[in-house]
Amino acid sequence: MDFKERIEKAVELIKKAGYITAFTGAGISTESGISDFRSPGGIWDRYRIITYQEFLQSSDARQQYWKMKHELFRELRNAKPNNAHKALALLEAKGILKAVITQNIDGLHQDAGSSRVIELHGTNRKAECVNCSKTWPIEEIDEKLEEVEFEPVCDHCGGYIKPATVSFGQPMPEKEMMEAVQEAQRSDLMFMIGSSLQVEPAASIPRITFEKGGKLIFINRTETPWDHLASVVFRESASRVMDAILEALQF
């Protein structure tokens, strides 16, 4: 099917569906200038991955981790939501989209105006004490990093402060995972945008919708192991596809 036919097919699925959700990954944010941490030349080439256990055990690991984040925040400061983020926010405002389930930690769905966002990997917008769970806006901790030699501690209990993201070696947040599974089960249509569906258990979310009889629309630059489950697959950019869908819906 050519692009136009696939857009028509997607629109037909949207019109028939009663409960639509979206599952998003790094690919939806690349057009906002945020590089996928798996892509070469990114920040992850210059820093090694620090696991949650290392963070807890080693002062050096904590400093390395915060230095990486400090550099990353400079890179992210000017990132703005793109048309794909905005399209999902508009679909929610129109009452069509019920929730966004995301693997991203960049907060761009919220910046675009989405209100129901389930963050499976936490968020870079907040910092959290690993001991008492007190949270701060990330800027508050970030601006003091040099002063505290990249090892901020909690003013309440003295515990280590970490960005409120899910690190390697840290389990997925239970509440968010449960909500995501419930949303996936309820969905009769799910957009999957910008995930290569490699990371489990997050990648299982669209499969749950499919197994419950729901339809899937995949928008991703590269192949995924689950493309055969989707009713329509797009390799075009997410903003181009979402713009075309909104236009066809006459929004």
Is 73 in a helix, a strand, or coil?
helix
Residue with tokens 């820093």: 47
Q: b/e per residue, 7-46, with b = 16+ CB within 10 A?
A: bbebbebbeebebbbbbbbbbbbbbbebbbeeeeeeebee
Q: Where do contacts with Zn ion occur on this chain (CB under 5 A)?
A: 129, 131-132, 134, 154, 156-157, 159
Look up 121 and say whether it is catalytic.
yes
Smallest gap from residue 66 Cβ to Zn ion (A): 16
Name the residue nearer to Zn ion (CB basis): 49 or 157: 157
Minimum CB separation from Zn ion for residue 42, in Å? 31
122 versus 206: smaller Cβ distance to Zn ion = 122
Between the alpha carbon of residue 44 and those of residues 40, 49, 61, the distances in Å are 8, 7, 15
The single residue of 70, 121, 156, 228 carrying the catalytic annotation is: 121
Q: Which is nearer to Zn ion, 154 or 202 (CB)?
A: 154
* Closer of 154 and 180 to Zn ion (Cβ): 154
- What does the alpha-carbon distance between residue 105 and residue 126 come to, in Å, rounded to a whole number? 10
The secondary structure element, H or E, covering residue 4 is helix 3-16
Cβ 153 to Zn ion, closest distance in Å? 8
Q: Which residues are catalytic?
A: 121
